[in-house]
A and B are shown apart, each in its own frame.
Chain A
Amino acid sequence: MALAKDYASVMGRSNEIQKKALGLDYAGYESGSIAFDYEALMKDTGYTLEEISRIQGRTAVGNTPLIELRNLAALSRKYAKPGYGARIFAKDEAANASGSFKARRAACAVAHAKKLGYKGVIAATSGNYGAAVASQAAMQGLDCIIVQECYDSHQIGQPEIVEKARKCEAYGAEVIQLTVGPELFYTFLSVLEDTGYFNASLYSPFGIAGVETLGYEIAMQCRELVGKDPEMVVCTNAGGGMITGTARGLQKAGAVGTKMVAASIDLTGLSMASDKQFNLKSCTTGHTGFGVPYATDPDHSDVPRSAARPLRYMDRYVTVKQGEVMYMTEALANLEGIERGPAGNTALAAAFSLAQELPEDAVIVISETEYTGAGKHIQPQLAFAREHGIDIHFGNPAQEDKPGENVILPADPGMIKAEDADLNRFRESLIRKAVKKAGGVTPTEADLKFLAEETKTDIAFVKNTLEKLGL
């Protein structure tokens, strides 16, 4: 008998479909209370760092260049006090097959799917990850479907998203495009069920383990180039996989003194599920609309427990403005001769500002660049914004920026400022949501320890927070 494919029926079979589509039962990691065994989940991927590196090496992924951005550092020093202005390096992840660091996640997920005997892979993403899965599926001989939130109700899509659809198709994938809304998950599950493909989720342990090589390479390359570990690594933050994997890789390399900074574009006030606001943002990822909800509630993704748990690894969380990232993207092309996509330059805009806090001999690494192309470039993105009534002018982003209304290009590069977000507020929010999700149980000793690890704090912080929240 054919299964009912209406919304309620498919969503009702969600757990069952996901279990089949990942070849992994998450129930074994649950404590029954708030805590779950994160490290066991990561360990059970069954791949060591060396094995992952080998998998990636076979598919043109990893060992990307670490490029010193001397001219941008020199520009940054003009706005720092004497003796300040750190060296800035960029991990040129655009050099991966498919043009972004997401190839690291996809290489492992697709290799795992192949090992388990799946015929194809599916991923729900509007971003670089779709292209990465499609590219890896092509290399490893699997079929691929990408489900993409692409259009508003007038069938208008951001040029950046449309370009990513084109790239997926170029690699031989089917691209299913949808209008705005979280029910994308329904279509995703339904197609997963019908095809029996592997869920190449961005948030599976295989995907996140794939990013660990990035952190490991950064440590090794820094030791070779400058004879030490970087003082700071800045990661563009959306779903949290980049900072999670990179930090874990750095730790595995023994780089324990490196400060991990997450950077997102400030899109405060814009709703990610709003049809009208969908095309009023001028960046499609690397923003707070993903960054904050995923940091404070990692487990609302397309897997039961996300392997990306950014608050475990963050020392700071900073935001920059859309106009600052656009400006830095142009500066990267003009001053360094490297043309790279805008969203990945979020960390660069932040690093340009953060460098001014550190002495000249300190080293900041931005963990990625991404490919650029038609649609995925500041000119079409700014032109699209202007066409949709967004006011674009030079000014002071810190004072004038209003997401959805304007894009303020800094009148002077000295105005580019990474603003610290209140990390403790996010930590408290994570604790509140975790307790609520577990049905408001009284946290056990194991839960307290888990929540301290989840928030990179200690048991005292967790207890204080619980008390403050009346939990």
Chain B
Amino acid sequence: MAKKGDWVRIHRVVLKAEERTAKLPEDTKACDLEMWTKGTLLADAEIGDEVEIETIVGRREKGELVEVGPYYTHSYGVFVPEIIEIDKQLRKIMKGGDK
């Protein structure tokens, strides 16, 4: 249950696949053009409901409620061993004196 006033994320299909007329590769043509944005929920709702929000600049936008309290999870990623190999190689070339 999301309350009026919660900061939420909504989703909307801008163009259905069959409505896409631009010059597109086949794989893209088979997909809907989808949109997400965030804002303040204007009335109590459940996830999946059609809702209206007011975005940070004051714009009204409608769409399906997909997330309450949206947050970022991107990071510095998992270990990539090759990066250590680059470090070791550079150290060897610059400090080891060989080419």
Contact = CB atoms under 8 A, between A and B. Distances in A.
Task: Say whether A and B bind each other.
Answer: yes
Interface of A: 7, 71, 74-75, 78, 120, 143-145, 150-151, 153, 155, 159, 162-163, 166, 169, 172-183, 186-187, 191, 194-195, 271, 273-276, 327, 330-331, 334-335, 374-375, 377-384, 386, 392-394, 409, 412-414
B86 A174 contact: no
6 contacts: A174-B57, A182-B24, A186-B14, A194-B59, A330-B86, A384-B77
Contact of A178 (B35, B39, B58, B77): B35
Contact of A181 (B28, B74, B78, B90): B28
Interface string B55-97: 1111100000000000010111111101101110111011000
Given A74-B94, A143-B57, A176-B37, A379 B25 contact: no
B72 A275 contact: no
8 tightest A-B contacts by CB? A380-B77, A383-B77, A375-B74, A153-B31, A143-B57, A275-B28, A274-B25, A379-B77
A7 B59 contact: no
A183 B22 contact: yes
B22 A182 contact: yes
A224 B43 CA distance: 62
A380 B87 contact: no
Contacts of A381: 77
B86 A183 contact: no
A380 B57 CA distance: 31
Contact of A75 (B27, B35, B93): B93
Interface string B1-37: 0000000000000110001111111011011111111
A163 B76 CA distance: 11
A169 B70 CA distance: 12
B36 A375 contact: no
A177 B63 CA distance: 13
Interface of B: 14-15, 19-25, 27-28, 30-39, 55-59, 72, 74-80, 82-83, 85-87, 89-91, 93-94, 99
Contacts of B24: 181-182, 273
A172 B85 CA distance: 40
Contacts of B74: 159, 162-163, 166, 374-375, 380
Contacts of B99: 78, 414
A181 B22 contact: yes
A73 to B, nearest CB: 12
A229 to B, nearest CB: 30
A327 to B, nearest CB: 6
B36 to A, nearest CB: 5
A183 B35 CA distance: 11
A372 to B, nearest CB: 10
Given A7-B15, A330-B86, 8 more contacts: A151-B36, A175-B38, A176-B36, A178-B35, A179-B35, A384-B77, A409-B82, A409-B86
A253 to B, nearest CB: 35
A163 to B, nearest CB: 6
Contacts of A194: 59
A8 B57 CA distance: 27
A146 to B, nearest CB: 10
A334 B94 CA distance: 11
B56 to A, nearest CB: 5
A352 B1 CA distance: 56
A187 B59 CA distance: 14
A388 to B, nearest CB: 12
Which of B23, B30, B35, B91 has most chain A Cβ within 10 Å?
A: B35
Nearest to B60: A194
- Which residue of B21, B31, B80, B94 has the most chain A CB atoms within 10 A of its CB atom? B80
A327 B75 CA distance: 20
Given A143-B58, A159-B74, A374-B74, A379 B80 contact: yes
A4 B43 CA distance: 27
Contacts of A378: 80, 83
- Of the candidates A177, A181, A384, the one having the most CB atoms from chain B within 10 angstroms of its own CB is A181
B21 A174 contact: no
Contacts of B39: 174
Contact of A78 (B25, B36, B56, B93): B93
Nearest to A392: B82
Contacts of B21: 7
A181 B33 contact: yes
